[in-house]
Structure 1
């Protein structure tokens, strides 16, 4: 069964594609590339179809990461297919939990830096868009620092799946991926938030 992780920032051109490529590298290094699918999206659709910001691409490539990317907007209908939705800052966390249609969907949303024990209370990855290259380097460093803890959480999630008796979480054949983009991101039609809000879920899950 595939475990799916989606990183989400504002426009899906700076922070979330950087996190996607960094974490995918960690997954592949761990030998989990066949079991874990890593993706990214934005809360808004302003940049749908665009590549990553050139500064994101430059910093990724300078540090030996891949950088191919097509921006897309996050859809509420993806929640059932995803196992973790990783927000890059508190604003994204709130917006994603508002989109969630059930408490279970809202509980899938986590802050990236909550997986970094050294982050303390400063859990936002600052938006580097309006600054210089140093902001993108900082974004990369924060992402790398959180990736090991996130990988540990994903390993635990995979263990729960493989160790389950088939109750609770649906098997892959029962989880419809209709509308969830594979190689051509950002093609789902306009989904809207569901009727049940996730606002009552605890705002920060460490």
Structure 2
């Protein structure tokens, strides 16, 4: 049975698609084939759009394939379709929690950086690079890669907890 992880940001054109692409590659490199990654945004403004060109360029320069992304909107249905839901920032988390059908569903909602070994309670968000320059995308990619490495290491425990 496939374990499904959803990564969610605001518009699904920068942070969550970057995390989607990075997580897929890291899982592939680790030989993990029973996990599926999906991404979406809490807002629907970019539904159907490709990834922000700056995010795609940064991923491509780092050796990732950013060509397949199409933005989608997060809905209540994502709770039924995914085992773990990861928000990029507190605002996304609040929007997602509001849509949780039950308290049990909301317990599968976490901050993406809750897996980041460098995150602190005061620094748990993935900053939105959309309004900034290239350096924001560089910082976000480094954060996503580091967090993805830690998340991939936790996959066996996450799958085991779903089965118990």
Question: Which residue in the other structure is 1:57 paired with?
Answer: 56
* More off after superposition, 1-10 vs 102-111: 102-111
**Is 1:157 paired with 2:158?**
yes
Q: Secondary structure at the match of 1:117?
A: coil
Question: Which residue in the other structure is 1:29 paired with?
Answer: 29
Within 2, Cα distance between the matches of 1:54 and 1:155?
A: 34
Question: Structure 1 stretches (4+) deviating beyond 6 angstroms?
Answer: none
Larger CA Rg, structure 1 vs 2:
1
Question: Cα deviations across residues 100-134 of structure 1 (Å, max 9, x unaligned)?
Answer: 01011111111111111211220111111111111
TM-score, length of structure 2 as denominator length: 0.94
Deviation (angstroms), 1:80:
1.6
* More off after superposition, 60-69 vs 116-125: 116-125
Question: Which residue in the other structure is 1:187 paired with?
Answer: none
* Pairing of 1:89-100 with structure 2 (within 5 A): 89-100=89-100
Deviation (angstroms), 1:148:
2.1
Within 2, Cα distance between the matches of 1:12 and 1:98?
A: 18
Q: Secondary structure at the match of 1:118?
A: coil
TM-score, length of structure 1 as denominator length: 0.75
Structure with the bigger percentage of helix: 2
Deviation (angstroms), 1:153:
2.7
**Is 1:46 paired with 2:45?**
yes
Question: Cα deviations across residues 3-23 of structure 1 (Å, max 9, x unaligned)?
Answer: 000100000000000000011
Question: Cα deviations across residues 137-172 of structure 1 (Å, max 9, x unaligned)?
Answer: 1110110111122113322122345xx4xxx7xxxx
Question: Cα deviations across residues 12-56 of structure 1 (Å, max 9, x unaligned)?
Answer: 0000000000111111111112x0001100001100000000000
Within 1, Cα distance between the matches of 2:149 and 2:157?
A: 12
Say how many residue pairs are matched. Answer: 162
Q: Secondary structure at the match of 1:119?
A: coil
Question: Cα deviations across residues 52-81 of structure 1 (Å, max 9, x unaligned)?
Answer: 000000000000011020001011012122
